Each structure stands twice: as C-alpha cells, then as structure tokens.
A and B are shown apart, each in its own frame.
Chain A
Amino acid sequence: MNRFLLPLGAFIVLVIFLWIGLTLNPREVPSPLINKVAPTFRLPQLHDSAKTIGPEDLRGKVWLLNVWSSWCVTCRQEHPLLVELGRQNLVPIYGLNYKDNRDDGLALLKSSGDPYVLSAYDREGNVGIDWGVYGVPETFVIDKSGLIRHKFIGALTPELIQNKLIPLVKELNGA
C-alpha cells in the first residue's frame, strides 16, 4: 500500500502544477513600469505633424494611453469600445499611433471614429520600446502625478472596462 502512496502523491503534485500552468497566460508579461514614472517622449501629433505632444502636457490629470495601429486587427476590434468610452467623457484617451503609416492611421480614424483627444505619431516605434510595448493594442493608465498605474495587454473588453478600468480611473481621480 505504502509503495503506491508516494508515486501517487508525486503525481498529484505534478497535476496541480500543470493545472496551475494551464490557467496562466505566458503572453501576459507583467510590466515593470507599473507605479513608475511614465517614460517621457516628445512626438509629432498624428493630425498635425507641426505640433508635438508628450506626457508632461498631461500632468495633473488621469489619462489613458492607447497604443494602436491601423494594421493591427485586434485594435480594430477594440476600436468601437474606445469610441464608446470616449463618448462617456470619463477619462481622456490619448493614442500612440505605433509604427503606422500616417495616412492609413488617419483614414482609420475617419472611417471608424476618433476616440482620442490626440494621437502621437510613433513612426519608428522607439517610444513604444521605451514604454515596453511588445504588441498592439496595449493601454496604459497614467495618474495625475505621471505614474503608470496599470497596463492592459491586448484588446480591452466591455468587462475589463466596466470592472477594472472605470473603477481604477474613478479611484485615481478621487485620490
């Protein structure tokens, strides 16, 4: 009897480990930038290359930075949600147009609606790298003091927006 107990115990431990492994998502790499000052940049705006934008301009308010691109299919799926969120006027959404063609980006905003107060135009993707972006879309929540408080990897969903994003924004605005 005893000689079966040990292998059985080992097997159960193995199953538990594998079970936990199944529930993890290796694609979601937690960002080390959480609760750190948002990396600074100075980029031309998508709509007007003569004007620039950077995180410093937004000090003192809670805002979202949504990294998007016209070639990114998941961004297009996410897009209507952002438009809807933008309409609610809960939090200003800024875009980081990542490695895109300026005309393609503008065309998408024209056809599907523009949820962004402004979009920064990151042609080379260097700002993306600075922010630890490794796939689009990604959405950062930045607080009044300029700290990154949360990063959503992949497309936002209605559940994420309702249960996570909006409560977080309210909390940050209250504090």
Chain B
Amino acid sequence: MHSKFLLFVLLLVMPLAYAEQAPITKSDPVLEKRVMDLSTHLRCLVCQNQTIADSNAELAVDLKNQVREKLRQGQSEQEILDYMVKRYGEFVLFSPLVKSTTWLLWFGPLLLLVVGLGVLSVILRQRRKMMQQAPVLSANEHARAASLLSAKEGEGHS
C-alpha cells in the first residue's frame, strides 16, 4: 500500500523533471529574460496572431536570435523595436501604435459604449415621459378594473 502511494507520487512528480528542461535557460538568464520580454512585443509574421515569444516558427526563432544578438551588442529595447519596424513595418508590433489611423481601433469600443449609453438614456427618458403622460385612473376606474380582473379570474376557475 505504502509503496503504491509512493509510486503514485513519483508519477505525479515526474513531469516536473521535464518542465525544468525548458530550452530557454541559456547561458545568461538575465539576458534571456530581456529577450523573452521584448519578444512578447513582436509579432510573428508567419503565424500572425502569435508573438515571436510564443511561436516556434523558424522565422520567430531567427528573430529571437536577432533580438538576443542585438541586446548582447548593447542595443536598447527601443532601438531593436525601431529596427524591426524599419524592416517589417508597424505590423510587427504586437500592440498597434496609437496614432490617427488606429484611433478607431483603439477607441472604437469606447465609442460604441458611449453611443450605446446615449441610446439607452434617450430610450429611458422617452419611456419615463410616456409613463408621466399616461392617463391617471380615478378611484372609480380602479375599482372597475379590479372587479373586471377578478371576474376574469372567477371565469377561469369555473
């Protein structure tokens, strides 16, 4: 029983041994972290909805190597981003720049929200106005309505 339990634990723990062998641990962990951080800002042009950090496509690997090389040469993050933009265009940046052609992209959802709130408030205001304008029933009419309703109910039961 005891040994079975141990075996079970061992099996559970086994994948962890593999997990530690992730290939990112190259010689310099600090540099590697910078490479990965910067890579999350660059789009893989072969697999366009992934960053080059997420992708194992050959081009992504090459670009990561390029990033690593340039960081090693002492270039700053911004210089490397500029280099990539010069080569591949702004599309290579994973989050688009905020500028006049991308305003709709960035603020479109907010615009939709504002328009929606506007429409909602207009509709609510109209409804309130309609409620206020609705004819108020007199006490007599209330009594009549109540009797009609209860008669209906009575009918239903019979």
Mark interface residues in B72-90 (1 if CB within 8 Å of A CB, else 0): 0000000000000111111
Contact between chains at B89 and A129 (CB < 8 Å): no
State which of B45, B46, B66, B86 has its C-beta within 8 Å of the C-beta of A32. B86
State which of A27, A29, A39, A126 has its C-beta within 8 Å of the C-beta of B88. A29
Closest residue of chain A to B86, judged by CB? A32
Assuming the contacts A125-B62, A126-B66, asked whether A131 and B87 have C-beta atoms less than 8 A apart, the reply is yes
Min Cβ gap A40→B in Å is 13
**Which residues of B (28-77) have their CB < 8 Å from a CB of A?**
45-46, 48, 58-59, 62-63, 66
**Which residues of B (78-116) have their CB < 8 Å from a CB of A?**
85-91
Closest residue of chain A to B66, judged by CB? A129
State which of A31, A99, A128, A131 has its C-beta within 8 Å of the C-beta of B89. A31
Contact between chains at B87 and A29 (CB < 8 Å): no
Is A106 an interface residue, CB under 8 A from the partner?
Answer: no
Q: How far is the CA of A29 from the CA of B62 in the complex (A)?
A: 19
Closest residue of chain A to B60, judged by CB? A134
How many A-B pairs have beta carbons closer than 8 Å: the answer is: 41
Contact between chains at B87 and A130 (CB < 8 Å): yes
Is A135 an interface residue, CB under 8 A from the partner?
Answer: yes
Q: For chain A, give the interface size range.
A: 10 to 19
Contact between chains at B87 and A132 (CB < 8 Å): yes
Is A33 an interface residue, CB under 8 A from the partner?
Answer: yes
Q: How far is the CA of A125 from the CA of B89 in the complex (A)?
A: 19
Q: How far is the CA of A129 from the CA of B62 in the complex (A)?
A: 8
Is A21 an interface residue, CB under 8 A from the partner?
Answer: no
Q: How far is the CA of A120 from the CA of B132 in the complex (A)?
A: 83
Residues of A within 8 A of B45 (CB): 29, 134-135
Min Cβ gap A61→B in Å is 24
Assuming the contacts A26-B48, A29-B45, asked whether A134 and B66 have C-beta atoms less than 8 A apart, the reply is no
Contact between chains at A30 and B87 (CB < 8 Å): no
Q: How far is the CA of A124 from the CA of B69 in the complex (A)?
A: 13
Residues of B within 8 A of A130 (CB): 87
**Which residues of A (22-41) have their CB < 8 Å from a CB of B?**
26-27, 29-33, 39
Contact between chains at B62 and A32 (CB < 8 Å): no
Contact between chains at A33 and B87 (CB < 8 Å): yes
Residues of A within 8 A of B89 (CB): 29-32, 132
Please give 11 more A-B residue pairs, beta carbons under 8 A apart, in addition to A32-B89, A39-B87, A129-B63.
A29-B88, A31-B89, A33-B86, A99-B62, A125-B62, A126-B66, A128-B62, A130-B87, A132-B88, A134-B88, A135-B59
Residues of A within 8 A of B (CB): 26-27, 29-33, 39, 99, 124-126, 128-132, 134-135
**Could you pull out 5 A-B pairs where Cβ atoms are within 8 angstroms?**
A31-B89, A32-B86, A32-B89, A99-B58, A134-B45
- What 9 A-B pairs have minimum CB-CB distances, sorted nearest first? A134-B45, A132-B87, A32-B89, A132-B88, A29-B91, A125-B62, A129-B66, A134-B59, A29-B89
